[in-house]
């Protein structure tokens, strides 16, 4: 337990203190700036619509997956590239605990950046209109989305040198493109988070359901899906680390 905690703490610090994280942090705050500046002369209801037409869409469709992709692919990938993987694995720690600690730290780092962006964009609406009801759903949505992205991108970063390319392909070709086909929408990560967001917001916000396609709104289902995805990612990586050589 102490060892897993050490891995999680060190990894979290390493991911957040890297120079690129300052850039990613700035990127995460960009939607809030757009929201605050763009809604300055809007009515309350128009500002609420504007949040969902622009800034929050940018945050969940582009910023969150990009931040997750950059940090998650480097979490184990960098250990492998710089040869420090053996520093972790030649220890009295089960492989699943190493992966779980790494995954948890990565999710926490991604959520720190993206969650701050989400909090800021909701706060921008709150400051303009006094409507603070999007804060909790925004954080839940981003928490769920980033968990799934991390579960997907950490193994990707470990297995492939071109993980960033594959990840960008997934985000922009699959998630934002092909998954618009109604039958495929349940396989779209951002829609899983969005279903939680809409599920928590009051009935008056149900006009946001359109992009969901076949996905049913509800936080419980979305949370369950994200936990299952994280468990699959953990299991897959543990099995891989146990069976394959670390060369």
Partner 1 sequence: MTTPAFVADPTVEVDRASKWFGQKVAVSAVSCNFGQGITGLLGPNGAGKTTLLRLICGLASPSEGTVTVLGENLRRNPDAYRQLSLVPEEDAVYPQMTARQYIEYGARLSGLTNVADRAADALRVVDLSGSADRTLGGFSKGMRQRAKVAAALVTDPQILILDEPLNGTDPVQRAHLIEVFRRLAADGKTVIVSSHVLAEVERMADRVLAMVDGKLAAAGDVVSIRAAMSDIPFRVRIEGDHLRKLASELVARSDVAAVEVGKDAIHIEAEDLSALGRDIAVIARDLDMRLTAFQPEDESLESVFRYLVRR
Q: How far apart are the first and last CA of the chain?
A: 27
Under the binding rule (CB under 8 A), the answer on residue 130 touching partner 1 is: no
- The pair phi, psi for residue 130, each rounded to 5°, is 80, 5
Nearest Cα to 60, choosing from 120, 145, 136?
145
Nearer to partner 1, 84 or 216 (CB): 84
* Alpha carbon distance 38, 51 (integer Å): 9
Under the binding rule (CB under 8 A), the answer on residue 238 touching partner 1 is: no
Under the binding rule (CB under 8 A), the answer on residue 80 touching partner 1 is: no
Under the binding rule (CB under 8 A), the answer on residue 242 touching partner 1 is: yes
Nearer to partner 1, 89 or 214 (CB): 89
CB 189 within 8 A of CB 145: yes
| Min dist. Cβ of residue 168 to partner 1 (A) | 26
Residues 87-106 that bind partner 1 (CB under 8 A): 87-95
Under the binding rule (CB under 8 A), the answer on residue 3 touching partner 1 is: yes
| Min dist. Cβ of residue 74 to partner 1 (A) | 13
Which one of 23, 37, 232, 246 is in contact with partner 1 (CB under 8 A)?
246
Residues 10-49 that bind partner 1 (CB under 8 A): 10, 14, 17
Nearer to partner 1, 2 or 41 (CB): 2
Nearest Cα to 130, choosing from 33, 50, 200, 47?
47
Number of residues that bind partner 1 (CB under 8 A): 24
Which residues here bind partner 1, judged by CB under 8 A?
2-3, 6-7, 10, 14, 17, 82-84, 86-95, 242, 245-247
């Amino acid at each position: 337990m102490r060892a897993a905690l050490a891995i999680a703490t060190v990894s979290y610090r390493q991911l957040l203190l890297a120079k690129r994280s300052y850039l990613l942090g700035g990127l995460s705050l960009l939607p809030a700036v757009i929201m605050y500046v763009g809604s300055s002369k809007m009515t309350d209801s128009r500002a609420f619509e504007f949040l969902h037409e622009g800034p929050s869409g940018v945050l969940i469709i582009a910023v969150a997956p990009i931040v997750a992709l950059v940090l998650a692919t480097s979490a184990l990938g960098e250990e492998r590239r710089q040869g420090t993987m053996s520093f972790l694995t030649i220890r009295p720690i089960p492989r699943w605990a190493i992966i779980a600690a790494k995954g948890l730290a990565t999710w926490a780092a991604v959520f720190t950046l993206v969650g701050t962006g989400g909090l800021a964009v909701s706060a921008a609406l709150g400051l303009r209109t006094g409507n603070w009801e999007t804060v909790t759903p925004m954080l839940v949505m981003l928490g769920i989305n980033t968990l799934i992205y991390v579960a997907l991108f950490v193994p990707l970063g470990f297995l492939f040198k071109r993980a960033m390319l594959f990840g960008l392909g997934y985000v922009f070709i699959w998630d934002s493109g092909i998954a618009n086909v109604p039958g495929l929408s349940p396989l779209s990560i951002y829609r899983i988070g969005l279903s939680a967001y809409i599920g928590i917001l009051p009935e008056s916000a149900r006009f946001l359901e359109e992009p969901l396609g076949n996905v049913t709104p509800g936080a419980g289902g979305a949370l369950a899906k994200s936990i299952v995805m994280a468990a699959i990612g953990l299991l897959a990586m543990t099995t891989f680390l146990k069976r394959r050589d670390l060369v």
